[in-house]
Amino acid sequence: MTVLHRPPSPAFPRGRTAPPLFPAVRSVVHDRAWAAWGATGVAGVVVAGLLITSGAGGVSEVDLDLVQHASRAHVPVLDGAALLVDRLLGPQLGAALVLLLVVAVWVVSRRAAAALTALGVATGPWAAAELVKLVVQRDRPDPGLLVDPLIVEPHSFSFPSGHTALATGLALALVLLAWGRRGAPVVIGTAALAVAGVGLSRVWVGVHWPSDTVVSVVLGCSVVALALPPWLHLLDRIEGRAAAAPSSHPVDPSAPNPSPTTDPGRTRS
């Protein structure tokens, strides 16, 4: 008697339980080049901050002139937009935006590694900016030198801009998720415009120098370029070990098929 069975269900290749994360991004990642770019960018930001704070290069004078021009050009619509950005990327709502992104990635991908990657890319630039502030210790614009400062911050350091760094991190996380997909150019363009808008808004309200916001973008991209390749390698090793681990419920190869499918109409002897 011949019994017809259903074909076995497809499975992932041996040694991997799921496809690698972000395959399109991996195709453009070059470990040594990205590490060199990232390290150079981070070091360059720190050195530039120390030089600017010391008064070298005349950057402080140009920064002051631009901030004063922005303070004299205020209009209600732009003022409201800049103040809205200040609140959206502040500590409370900024954290909520990051959490929303991480949850969305988890819901769509069902992979904790993807959600953790989005979290790291989104927050890494902001964390780096806070550390650089402690090293450079550049003061914010003096409200007494501005015609109409929209926000007066308590004494704190300004180089680089934390709001712009967080916006850069969120933008890079979205680009990472969209890279290689049909809508990637739209996401990249929109993200770039959003980051530029956040940077301009920080100068507009009078709490940052223009150079603070520019270096925030450089720092954010550098940190991600430096950290992303080794992080992806770490994920590969972790997932490889998980796939190679023996199953907790081994199956006896000599055991009969528990769910044979027999078609009486096609069974013959």
- The range of the structural domain enclosing residue 204 comes to 23-238
Q: Per the domain annotation, does 4 fall within a domain?
A: no
Backbone angles phi, psi at 135, to 5 degrees: -80, -45
Is 9 among the domain residues? no
- Percent of the chain surpassing pLDDT 90: 63
User: Does the structure show a pLDDT above 80 at 257?
Assistant: no
256 lies in some domain = no
Q: What does the pLDDT read at residue 263?
A: 53
pLDDT band at 233 (very low <50, low <70, confident <90, very high): confident
User: Is there a domain that residue 184 lies in?
Assistant: yes
The average pLDDT across 210-228 equals 96
Looking at residue 2, what is its pLDDT?
A: 45
> Band of the pLDDT at 10, cuts 50, 70, 90?
very low
Secondary structure of residue 110 in the 3-state scheme: coil
Q: What is the mean pLDDT of the chain?
A: 85
Residue 137 pLDDT greater than 90, yes or no: yes
Residue 226 in any domain: the answer is yes
Is the Cβ–Cβ distance between 124 and 169 less than 8 Å? yes
pLDDT for res 259: 53
- Give the integer Cα–Cα distance in Å for 202 and 169: 16
74 is written with which tokens?
A: 């205020």
Q: Mean pLDDT lowest for which of 12-26, 73-87, 117-131, 145-159?
A: 12-26
Angle (deg, nearest 10), helices 210-244 and 31-53: 150
Binned at pLDDT 50, 70 and 90, residue 5 comes out as very low
173 sits in which H/E element: helix 162-178
pLDDT at 239: 72
Query: 150-207, pLDDT tens digit by residue?
Result: 988 878 899 999 999 999 999 999 999 999 889 999 999 999 999 999 999 999 999 9
CA distance 156 to 133: 9
How much is the pTM? Answer: 0.81
Residue 3 lies in a domain: no
Q: Quick one: pLDDT band at residue 31, thresholds 50, 70, 90? A: confident
Q: How far apart are CA 71 and CA 77, in angstroms?
A: 14
| Cα(10)–Cα(17) distance, integer angstroms | 12
Q: How far apart are CA 204 and CA 51, in angstroms?
A: 24
Q: Is the pLDDT of residue 255 over 90?
A: no
pLDDT exceeds 50 at position 1: no
Distance CA 108, CA 128 (A): 28
For residue 89, which phi and psi values (nearest 5 degrees)? Answer: -105, 15
Q: Is residue 118 included in any domain, yes or no?
A: yes
CA–CA gap between residue 228 and residue 207 (Å, rounded): 31
Q: pLDDT tens, 48-75?
A: 999 999 988 889 999 999 999 999 999 9
Q: Return d(Cα 122, Cα 102) in angstroms, integer.
A: 9
Q: How many domains is the chain built from?
A: 1
Measured between alpha carbons, how far is 207 from 33 in angstroms, rounded to an integer? 35
pLDDT of 256 reads 56
pLDDT at 9 over 50: no
Query: Has residue 132 been placed in a domain?
Result: yes
Using CA atoms, how far apart are residues 189 and 27, in angstroms rounded to an integer?
21
Residue 253 parent element (H or E): none
